[in-house]
Amino acid sequence: MSYPLSHFPGDVPLRKISPLSPKVSTCADQWLNARMKALATTSAFQTTVIEDQNTQEAVDSKHPLDYLSRKRENDRLSGVIKQRSPGSGIYDNLQKYDIPYPEAIFDINYFVCNPKPFFHLAKELYPGKYKPNLVHYFVRLLHDKGLLLRCYTQNIDGLERLAGIPVERIVEVHGTFSSASCSLCYTPFPANEAKELIFDGIHPCCTFCSGPVKPDIVFFGEDLPKTFTQAYQDFPKADLLIIMGTSLKIQPFASLVNIVKPSIPRLLINREKVGPFAKKRLRRRDVAELGDLCDITHTMVNGLCWEEELEKLMKSPTEQATGH
C-alpha cells in the first residue's frame, strides 16, 4: 500500500556503533559501486554531490551509505505536514464555516474563538487511517541495530510510534495526538476522552477553566515542544544525517540540517532538491537521491543486505523494539 508523501518519515543523524560484519560491509561496498554506475544511465532518480572536478571519486569513497554500513548515530527529520497546505483537499468540506483563510484552522487565536472548524477536521487528522510503511520500519530497524540517535519528525500521524520506535527516540516537532491539554491554561486532559468527545461531535472543555481542549499538536502561534531543543545536542554528535520526504521550508525545523558538522555527510532522499541541496554550491559530502522515497529506501535496504530483517520486522510490528 502506498501513502502520501506527508505520511513518510523524514530526516535521520547515525550513531557510534561497532562496525558491521565484514560480509555486510563488503556487500554494501559492492552494491554502491554497481549502483553509482547504474545511476549514470537511469532517469528514475539522480545522485548529486557537491560540484567537484573529481565528482565520481567523491561519490564512490564518501557516499553516506558507506557511513550507514559502518557507523551509528542517525537522526531523522520528516515531511512537512501537508494537511496545512491549501489545496490539499482537506479544506473542501470546511467552506460552510466561512473561515477567513485556510491556515486559520491551525491558528491558536482563531481556535480559541472558534474551535468548530478544527474539531470537524480533527476527525480526518486523528491517527488510525494509515499504517507504517517500509520507510518507518527502516528507521525502526536503524534503532534496533543501535544506529538511531534520534528521529525528528514534523508528521503528526504517529506512524513512527506505531512502527515501534521508542518514544524517547522520537522528537515530534509539530506535536502529537497522544496527549491533549487546555488551549488556555494548559491543564492536561485525557487524550482518549478528548478523542471520544470530538468523534461524538462534542467539544472537549477544560475541567479547570472551561477553555477549549485540543490534542497537543502545534498550532500557528504556539511554541514548539521543549523536546525540540534536544536537536542542539543531538545533531553535533551525528556521524550521518539522512533527510527524507520533506520540503525544508518551515523554520526553525528547516535549519536543523545545518547544525551537523561540515565534515558530516548529509543524504537527501526526496522527490526534489530542497533546502541547501537546491543551491549550486553544496558541502563536499552532500548527496541527493531523487525519486520515490519507498523505492530508494528499498534499494538502500537491499544494498545493506537488511531485506530479511526488515521483512520480518514488518510482519511482526508489535514486537518490542530493542533497547539501545
For cell 496527549, what's the residue? 179
- Residue 185 in marked binding region: yes
For cell 544525517, what's the residue? 241
Alpha-carbon distance of 287 to 78, in angstroms, equals 17
Which among 188, 244, 230 has a CA at the least distance from the CA of 211? Answer: 188
- What is the rounded end-to-end Cα distance, in angstroms, of the chain? 30
What cell does 119 get? 474539531
- Residue 113 in marked binding region: no
- Residue 182 in marked binding region: yes
Element (H, E) at 28: helix 22-39
- Residue 305 in marked binding region: no
Residue pair 172/156 in contact (Cβ under 8 Å)? The answer is yes
Which among 134, 178, 131 has a CA at the least distance from the CA of 159? Answer: 131
* Cα R_g (the chain), whole angstroms: 21
Residue of 63, 136, 143, 174 with catalytic role: 174
Residue pair 51/281 in contact (Cβ under 8 Å)? The answer is yes
Alpha helices in 230-321 (DSSP H): 231-234, 293-303, 307-315
174 an active-site residue?
A: yes
How would you label 137-170 residue by residue, b for 16+ Cβ within 10 Å and e otherwise? bbbbbbbbbbbbbbbbbbbbbbbbbbbbbbeebb
Alpha-carbon distance of 167 to 148, in angstroms, equals 13
| Active site residues per annotation | 174
List, as residue ranges, the binding site for Zn(2+): 182, 185, 206, 209
List, as residue ranges, the binding site: 182, 185, 206, 209
